[in-house]
Chains A and B, each alone.
Chain A
Amino acid sequence: MVRFENVGMRFGPGPEVLRDVTFALEAGSFTFLTGPSGAGKTTLLKLMYLAEPPSRGLIDLFGRDLATTKRSQFPALRRRIGVVFQDFRLLDHLSAFENVALPLRLSGIRKIDYTHDVEELLSWVGLGDRLHAKPQTLSGGEQQRVAIARAVVARPDLLIADEPTGNVDPDMGERLIRLFSELNRMGTTVLIATHDRTVVERIKSREMRLVDGRLVELRMTRT
């Protein structure tokens, strides 16, 4: 599903943020990416969701070597990836419903065909009564839930989440992790970057640890 080989990344003339990163995510796997702040987690995710090209190394996504893949095929690859951004990146002029529906609109699906799914998903994350609220009227936790609903609504093949439980209470955090597990059971490959140890311990899944730009630890915590 995802394969990184000796991937390095630097911004401009600065030092390398990622160094010789090599790993693979199997299809249908559930993986945590942990590490201290500034270790390069977000940069690694950016490379994976095609926001930046790597400075060196090979990235293989859905069986395609990105270096030899035409740019015109990137949108199709991106649509197979759901991303929960650390800063949510919701569109302020659209309602919660419209924000969540965005990936479906991008795929050309008609409103009549997605309205029910979007409403159901928003209810599931506890926002059934806030369908038409604009993001600026939602709390941080509510915005995060909208962002998560948007990332999963199109049932992506790969779900990448950057600190998805950072702004919600433990109960809601658990509910959201269950949503990810549910999605994973249905076949989606999940990668969650977090430094919330309780979440990592609860799921007991594979954990990759980034320290100072290197993937230093690669262990399975599954029991």
Chain B
Amino acid sequence: MNLGLNSKRRNASRVVPREDGAAPLDIVIGVMAFLAALALGASLVADRAAESWRAGLVDRITVQILPPEHGLAQEALEKETDAALVVLRSTDGIVRAMPVSQEETLKLVEPWLGKDALVADLPLPRLIDASILPGANVNLAALTRRLKEAAPHSALDDHAHWIGRLKALADGVALFSYGILALIAIATAAIVSFATRAGLEAHHDIVGLLHQMGAHRSFVARAFERHYFVSALWAGAVGALLAGGLFLMAGGLEFAGVEPVPFLPPLSLRPLEVLWFVAVPFAAGIIALATARLSVLAALRKIY
């Protein structure tokens, strides 16, 4: 079966000459593949960044003790912090609960408020960082209630809101990338369809002759689709290689100590992720092949 298919392909090869004016199509497909690989890389980076952010936050809870509005703030804070620590440490599933020191808290607000001596006098809340045993099912509602009883000014944050927003952001970036990939695929198909029709027009006499000699529509389609598949494969490989090189270069720069853009995840890809780029030229080839085939078959259907 496979042998038969190969011999059919061989028989259909070179029946249609390679067009002299095919270079622009190759360039467009190369650029499309480059953009597709960039979008793909962006989705991989976003996905990995979101995963690492999530991994850092999941299984962690933070308890915040707000300074009371009246009375001796510091003393009350310490008392409520100790009470909250006792509650946390006595809760099943919580493996660690440590208060965040005053210095560390000041460091956290430093980017917004600065290092001024005045900042130290501000009524800053006390923070307790706690870890949940991975997989343990801690009843957060009950824990909040118990914390409130022991320390009325406490507030429990399980980062669900933040994780949810991160997930939404990462999902958004991924969805956006898929959208771009889909648009690129559609644009590539449209270009190839246009080129195929131009090719059919240019080789009208050849197609007519083959048809006249009893060539099946699929034979003629094979002659064209093979041509566009090979072109798209090469052009796609060049585009994907350039994009892959760009990501590797970004990774190299970060490795060499050049600061990445603040707040953005590192742009480098892991070697295994670069393998995804191998799929890009094949996808380009298959899109070109399928489009060329459908265009030729549609055009031939109109001939008697």
Please give the residue numbers on chain A whose beta carbons come within 8 Å of chain B beta carbons, in ascending order: 49-53, 74-81, 83, 89, 91, 93-94, 98, 102-103, 105-106, 108, 110
- Asked whether A91 lies within 8 Å of B206 as measured between CB atoms, the reply is yes
Which residues on the B side are within 8 Å of A93 (C-beta)? 14, 17
- From A52, A75, A110, contact of B214 by CB (8 A): A75
Q: How many A-B residue pairs have CB under 8 A?
A: 52
Would you give the 0/1 interface string for B1-13, flagging 1 where the beta carbon is closer than 8 Å to chain A? 0001001100100
Are B11 and A76 within 8 A (Cβ)?
no
Would you call A83 and B210 a contact (CB within 8 A)? Answer: no
Q: Would you call B7 and A78 a contact (CB within 8 A)?
A: no
CA distance A75 to B213 in the complex (A): 8
Partner of B8, one of A91, A98, A108: A108
Q: What residue of chain A has the Cβ atom nearest to residue B13's Cβ?
A: A105
Task: For residue B288, give the distance in angstroms from its CB to the closest CB of chain A.
Answer: 21
Contact across chains for A49 and B212 when beta carbons are under 8 A apart: yes
Nearest-neighbor residue (CB-CB) of A82 within chain B: B213
B: residues with CB less than 8 A from A are: 4, 7-8, 11, 14-15, 17, 205-206, 209-217, 219, 304
Q: Return A85 CB to nearest CB of chain B, in Å.
A: 8
| Contact indicator B304/A78 (Cβ below 8 Å) | no
Known pairs A53-B304, A91-B209; A106 contacts B215 (CB<8 A): yes
> How distant is the Cα of A98 from the Cα of B14 in the complex, in angstroms?
10
Question: A52-B304, A53-B304, A105-B11 are contacts. A77–B209 as well, Cβ < 8 Å?
Answer: no
Residue of A nearest to B12 (CB): A105
| Residue from B15, B206, B211, B213 having most chain A Cβ neighbours under 10 A | B213
If A52-B304, A53-B304, A108-B8 touch, whether A79 touches B214 (CB-CB below 8 Å) is yes
Query: Given A50-B304, A91-B206, is A110 in contact with B7 using a C-beta cutoff of 8 Å?
Result: yes
CA distance A79 to B212 in the complex (A): 8
Given contacts A103-B214, A106-B215, 16 further A-B contacts (CB under 8 A): A50-B212, A74-B214, A75-B214, A78-B212, A79-B213, A79-B214, A81-B214, A83-B213, A94-B14, A94-B15, A102-B15, A102-B213, A103-B213, A105-B11, A108-B7, A110-B7
> Chain B: interface secondary structure?
helix
Tell me how far the C-beta of A165 lies from the nearest C-beta in chain B, rounded to whole angstroms: 21
Whether B205 contacts A89 by the Cβ 8 Å rule is yes
Which residue of chain B has its CB nearest to the CB of A102? B213
In the bound complex, CA of A102 to CA of B217 (Å): 15
A108 to B219, CA, bound (A): 10
Q: A75-B215, A75-B216 are in contact. Are A106 and B304 (CB under 8 A)?
A: no
**A residues near B216, Cβ cutoff 8 Å:** 75
What's the nearest-Cβ distance from chain B to residue A75, in Å?
5
Q: Tell whether, in the assembled complex, residue A106 and residue B11 are in contact, meaning their CB atoms are under 8 Å apart.
A: yes
A-B pairs, 8 with minimum CB distance: A79-B214, A78-B214, A93-B17, A105-B11, A75-B214, A106-B215, A75-B216, A89-B209
Please tell me if the beta carbons of B214 and A51 are within 8 angstroms of each other in the complex: no
Per the bound structure, the CA–CA distance linking A53 and B304 in Å amounts to 7
Look across to chain A and name the residue whose beta carbon is closest to the beta carbon of B7.
A110
Q: How far is the CA of A39 from the CA of B205 in the complex (A)?
A: 25
Contact residues in A for B205 (Cβ distance below 8 Å): 89
Which residues of chain A are within 8 angstroms of B212 by Cβ–Cβ distance? 49-51, 78, 83
Neighbouring B residues of A108 by C-beta, 8 Å: 4, 7-8, 11
